[in-house]
Amino acid sequence: MSRKILRILVTGGAGFLGSHLCERLVDQGHDVLCLDNFFTSQKTNVFHLLNKPNFELIRHDVTLPIFMEVDQIYNLACPAAPGHYQYNPIKTVKTSVLGATNVLGMAKRCGARVLQASTSEVYGDPQVHPQPESYWGNVNPIGIRSCYDEGKRVAETLFMDYARMNKVDIRIIRIFNTYGPRMHPFDGRVVSNFIRQCLKNEPITLFGNGQQTRSFCYRDDLVDAIIRMMNTEGVTGPINIGNPDEFTIRELADITLELTASKSQIVHMPLPADDPTRRQPDITLARKHLGWNPSTSLPEGLEKTIAWFRSIDIDSYRPPTPNYQ
């Protein structure tokens, strides 16, 4: 990996993954510019970095152009939890598409390398299992998840076309469900919901019969892979990044109940529209090209996440958006 000090822009840098990425890059000595509009995050996520001379926080919306000189760009700005991205779906499409256009324009002008945080959602409700990068997906273009799925798919298209047409140096990773400390406790994602509900001994909201599956990656493993992808020569992607250990959502509920020693009871709620039935990354390419393999098991990562949830004042976080009502 490069030891040179670089000027690095992280869009969405105050978010769950972005704040950890900024932290790592600051620790490596890089000059880090964190750009965020704080739609789904709060300044407290990066408060501890504000007094570092190599960290700068910029309030800005990626749908609007911005000019700065940088060597690398990590494009993470986009609401990621279903409740968040469905809150204002039109804005979600604009964030993905105009945001990608703006960072690609900047990368073209500066000669910067630019990485897109894409998603397993580009596979939709997959008919191929596990999902390799060569699978084109099964996405509903007009449903309630489409603003996110199709927005991210167009962003991938823009990245590939800027690479082909303008020779921009791009990277695309497809991130599968990632969890860990600093997730917004009210983001509505399954890990944060289950932990919060268990710690408060409130009912656990299991959507559908709980037999749908996800494969959960701990955030430290994920951030490690993002940085490797950015700094590996000759690998454009898309590359899947995730933990291939697959669990039913019912199993996740049972593990969370056990680790929190909670008295919560499971209540069944309707499955949201277009909820993918199965999801598991094929990470052959990440292993081969990045020499990367996730090392944190689900119980191990959940223990750390639960410890963080216990350490915060959950009631001081406002539920920012309606959550599947």
One-character DSSP codes across 119-168: EGGGGBS-SSSSBPTT---B--TTSTTHHHHHHHHHHHHHHHHHHHHH--
Nearer residue to ligand NAD within complex by CB, 77 or 112: 77
Enumerate long-range contacts of 194-199, CB under 8 Å, 24 or more apart. Answer: 194/252, 194/253, 194/256, 195/256, 195/260, 195/302, 195/305, 195/306, 195/309, 196/309, 196/314, 197/262, 197/264, 198/256, 198/257, 198/260, 198/262, 198/264, 199/260, 199/262, 199/306, 199/309, 199/310, 199/314
Among 149, 154, 131, CA closest to 285? 131
Smallest distance from the beta carbon of 24 to ligand NAD, in angstroms?
A: 14
Binding to ligand NAD by residue 76, rule CB under 6 A?
yes
8-state DSSP, 13: T
74, 87, 123, 148: the catalytic one is 148
State yes or no: residue 37 binds ligand NAD (CB under 6 A): yes
Would you say 168 or 241 has its CB closer to ligand NAD? Answer: 241
Number of residues that bind ligand UDP (CB under 6 A): 14
Residue number, 60 or 250, with CB nearest to ligand NAD? 60
Residue closer to ligand NAD by CB (options 113, 184) is 184
- Report the residue number, 2 or 138, with the smaller CB distance to ligand UDP: 138
Applying CB under 6 A, what is the total number of residues that bind ligand NAD? 28
SS3 state of residue 293 = coil
17 binds, among ligand NAD, ligand UDP, none (CB under 5 to 8 A by kind): ligand NAD
Q: How far from chain centre, in Å, is Cα 25?
A: 17
Tell the smallest beta-carbon distance from residue 177 to ligand NAD (Å).
5
One-letter amino acid of 139: V
Minimal distance in Å, beta carbon 310 to ligand UDP?
Answer: 19
Residue 214 interacting with ligand UDP (CB under 6 A) = yes
Query: Does the protein bind ligand NAD through residue 107 (CB under 6 A)?
Result: no
In the numeric block, the tokens 């656990």 are attached to: 204
Asked if 175 is part of the footprint of ligand NAD (rule: CB under 6 A), the reply reads yes
Active site residue 162: no
Residue numbers annotated as active site: 148
* Sites of contact with ligand NAD (CB under 6 A): 11-12, 14-18, 36-41, 61-63, 76-80, 84, 95, 117, 119, 175, 177-178
